[in-house]
Chain A
Amino acid sequence: GENVEQHPSTLSVQEGDSAVIKCTYSDSASNYFPWYKQELGKRPQLIIDIRSNVGEKKDQRIAVTLNKTAKHFSLHITETQPEDSAVYFCAASSENDMRFGAGTRLTVKP
């Protein structure tokens, strides 16, 4: 089955800096890669997703890149703000098998 590794487990940045979270996956059949944000005590919420036929997708300050050959994908957050502080989860999905990474706790310091 799929195995997703996520790094780093914690990340602290200064407000206004960029943050990058990286994930690798093992199943070459995976074709859908979402990112979820979970604020403290809240439910995970989808922030961006990408399919395997696309190399990059951007939504305002958030972007995701996918390298199918290397089997890794990354979340990029630019101009970080304190409200970006949360736990971020990547996931990789093949058919109906979706596996999540262990999460990255992002702290944005004012």
Chain B
Amino acid sequence: EAQVTQNPRYLITVTGKKLTVTCSQNMNHEYMSWYRQDPGLGLRQIYYSMNVEVTDKGDVPEGYKVSRKEKRNFPLILESPSPNQTSLYFCASSLMAATNEKLFFGSGTQLSVL
């Protein structure tokens, strides 16, 4: 079954404590991206990756890092989380090679930073 798997689904942490949200896809997709969803703001792109070892900033990259060491995994790293990073996060991969079209989203990670 085609899947984009995010972990954890829910996370409560404290300011400044480094965390990683994992994302893995089993569809051999080249394009992967991270979004955050906040009420009234829709989905905003944090980072995206066109392929292994290729990453680029999206609209709201401040405070986040990513890596793409292998095609299937695209972890999101918060080195020093702050309360304004409390949000619902989605990882996505694209069904179309080398584009952001036809995105397939993971189930989401609800992050609360206290």
A-to-B contact residues, CB < 8 Å: 1, 4, 6, 9, 32, 34, 36, 42-46, 49, 89, 91, 93, 96, 98-103
Contacts and interface: CB of A to CB of B under 8 A. Distances in A.
Interface in B37-90: 40-45, 48, 50, 56, 59, 90
B56 A34 contact: no
Contacts, number: 49
Given A100-B44, A102-B42, A44 B105 contact: yes
The binding surface of chain A is classed by DSSP as strand
A43 B107 contact: yes
A49 B103 CA distance: 11
B112 interface: no
A96 B101 contact: no
Contact of A44 (B43, B45, B50, B56): B43
The contact size tier of chain B is 20 to 34
A96 B100 contact: yes
B50 A96 contact: yes
A41 B48 CA distance: 24
Contact of B40 (A36, A89, A96, A102): A102
A96 B106 contact: no
A4 B106 CA distance: 23
Contact of A34 (B40, B102, B106, B107): B102
B47 to A, nearest CB: 11
B42 A93 contact: no
Interface string B27-45: 0000000010000111111
